[in-house]
């Protein structure tokens, strides 16, 4: 600084001022309220209108909830307790119906002494999903497995599970937790084995049957790897042929002999015993697990350069999307038996799962095709420039980006399919809504109770669907990249 400038300046600060908080109007709750609720005349009006609506709903519903009764033997007794406690003319919720019939909502007609088996299957489901859904978050995976183990063992013990299966389930859950801490990659073995374990726990019978079915996938993979260097198309056709041959001829021959060697059978439960949320979760989880890979294949087939492959994919997708799900369920329930050999016993739940999977896969294919179309052409050219073949380019470059773009649509399809599981009531299955209605009709003691069971059922559906929605948001944030 020149001397002339120093002489012209009257005051020069030689020390820094201490930092001070911003004014109240520019920070904290006041700023948040101004920016989000009262930023303009229209927003102020909408905010006041929303607050009035919330106040009206809360003031109307809260007294009904606050006067709830949980212990009663009939609706009349409920109303008597409410009148005696809060005065004549007071209304309140009678949750005693839900408390008395909760098993009907959750398990349907599943044998009560075997309720621990669906609980164990549901607990192992978290063990199977944890390494897939939370592969890069050790902390979340640890808490998911810890809570799954604690809740599974506690519920099984409360439901009266025998000591031996309770000990086995606790040991497996503890082993899964230790593997998650020290060798998380080995947890994927549990993911691969879960379909056989889940089917065995839910339906019972011999453990060898689902194991032999799973071995069919192993045989198909081995054939594919053996023929992969010859031709990709030949490898796919050979793998499919080997799996069909294994399931059609070798499996039925092998299972009885394995049963004679080592008996691993437990009590069998018929499909008509399934009901309530047990049925919805079984169909929903199976449909979600199978519709995603099938939807990816259909999306790739629809964008194929081969006219025959593209034509079949277009016909399948457009036909399924043009037919209501109820019509497909009726086909699965009534007409499918006419096309099967006489005497064939094709399980009704398996038929429904197949139809629900096909229905969801058609919508899933269009969602994924949107993600594929959103990718710039340069991504495809980059894959070609690296010398990758079609399948490696799709697996390593194209599909990871397309699936990331399609996450909201994929999860919306999952949620819609899970809620559509209530439509199985039209083919004679005992879905949660039918369990709700039957719980009221079953006894004259509960005639007139309608809101409580439907609110309970809706709350369970909301929790499950909201959980899927929150996980999709977590996945979007995890995969968020700037480029």
Q: Residue 168: its pLDDT value, please?
A: 92
Q: Considering the domain boundaries, does residue 38 fall inside one?
A: yes
- Measured in degrees and rounded to the nearest 5, phi and psi for residue 229 equal -75, -20
Q: Of the candidates 410, 393, 377, which has an alpha carbon nearest to the alpha carbon of residue 479?
A: 410
Element (H, E) at 205: strand 205-206
Residue 483: pLDDT band with limits 50, 70, 90: very low
Contact predicate 295/412, CB 8 Å: no
SS3 72: coil
Range of the domain at 42: 34-59
Token readout for 104 is 């009907």
Across 139-166, average pLDDT = 90
Q: Is residue 479 part of a domain?
A: no
49, part of any domain: yes
Where is 92: in which H helix or E strand? none
Q: Is residue 46 part of a domain?
A: yes
Q: What is the spatial distance between Cα 341 and Cα 330, in angstroms, rounded to a whole number?
A: 19
Q: What is the pTM of this model?
A: 0.83
User: What is the rounded average pLDDT of the residues 125-141?
Assistant: 85
Residue 438: pLDDT band with limits 50, 70, 90:
confident
The total domain count for the chain is 1
Q: What are phi and psi of 128, to 5 degrees?
A: -70, -35
Q: Average pLDDT of 85-96?
A: 86
Q: Are 329 and 427 in contact (CB under 8 A)?
A: yes
Reduce the DSSP state of residue 206 to 3 states and report it.
strand
Is residue 230 a part of any domain in this protein? Answer: no
Give the phi and the psi of residue 221 in degrees, each rounded to 5: -65, -40
Q: Is there a contact between 295 and 364 (Cβ–Cβ < 8 Å)? A: yes
Q: Which of 418, 419, 405 is nearest to 475 (CA)?
A: 405
Residue 481 in this model has a pLDDT that exceeds 70: no
| Banded pLDDT at 24 (limits 50, 70, 90) | low
In a domain, 217, yes or no: no
């Amino acid at each position: 600084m020149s001397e002339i400038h120093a002489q012209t300046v009257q005051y020069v600060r030689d020390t820094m001022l201490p930092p001070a908080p911003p004014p109240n109007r520019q920070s904290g709750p006041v700023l948040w309220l101004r920016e989000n609720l009262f930023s303009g005349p229209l927003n102020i009006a909408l905010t006041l209108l929303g607050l009035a609506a919330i106040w009206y709903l809360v003031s109307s519903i809260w007294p009904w909830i606050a006067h709830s009764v949980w212990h009663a033997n009939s609706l009349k007794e409920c109303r008597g307790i409410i009148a005696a406690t809060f005065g004549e003319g007071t209304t309140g919720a009678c949750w005693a119906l839900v408390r008395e019939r909760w098993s009907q909502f959750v398990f349907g007609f599943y044998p009560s002494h075997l309720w621990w088996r669906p609980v164990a299957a549901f607990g192992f489901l978290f063990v199977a999903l944890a390494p897939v859904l939370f592969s890069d978050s050790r902390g979340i995976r640890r808490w998911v497995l810890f809570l799954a183990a604690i809740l599974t063992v506690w519920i099984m013990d409360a439901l009266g599970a025998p000591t031996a299966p309770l000990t086995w389930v606790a040991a497996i859950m503890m082993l899964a937790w230790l593997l998650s801490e020290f060798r998380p990659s080995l947890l994927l073995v549990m993911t691969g084995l879960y379909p056989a374990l889940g089917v065995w726990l839910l339906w019972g019978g011999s453990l060898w049957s689902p194991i032999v079915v799973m071995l069919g996938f192993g045989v198909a993979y081995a054939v594919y790897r053996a023929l992969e260097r010859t031709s990709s198309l030949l490898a796919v056709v050979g793998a499919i042929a080997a799996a069909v041959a294994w399931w059609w001829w070798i499996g039925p021959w092998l299972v009885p002999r394995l049963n004679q060697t080592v008996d691993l059978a437990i009590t069998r439960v018929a499909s008509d015993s399934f009901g309530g949320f047990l049925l919805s979760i079984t169909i929903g989880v199976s449909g979600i697990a199978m519709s995603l890979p099938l939807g990816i294949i259909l999306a790739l087939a629809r964008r194929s350069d081969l006219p025959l492959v593209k034509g079949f994919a277009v016909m399948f997708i457009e036909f399924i999307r043009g037919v209501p799900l109820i019509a497909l369920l009726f086909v699965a329930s009534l007409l499918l038996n006419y096309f099967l050999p006489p005497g064939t016993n094709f399980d009704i739940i398996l038929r429904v799962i197949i139809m629900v999977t096909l229905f969801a896969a058609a919508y899933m294919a269009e969602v994924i095709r949107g993600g594929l179309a959103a990718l710039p052409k340069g991504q495809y050219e980059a894959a070609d420039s690296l010398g990758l073949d079609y399948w490696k380019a799709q697996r390593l470059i194209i599909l990871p980006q397309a699936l990331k773009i399609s996450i909201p649509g994929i999860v919306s399809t999952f949620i819609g399919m899970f809620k559509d599981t209530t439509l199985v009531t039209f083919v004679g299955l005992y879905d949660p809504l039918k369990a709700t209605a039957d719980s009221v009709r079953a006894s004259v003691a509960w005639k007139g109770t309608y809101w409580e069971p439907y609110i309970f059922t809706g709350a369970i559906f909301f929790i499950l669907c909201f959980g899927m929605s929150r996980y999709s948001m977590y996945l979007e944030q995890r995969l968020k990249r700037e480029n």
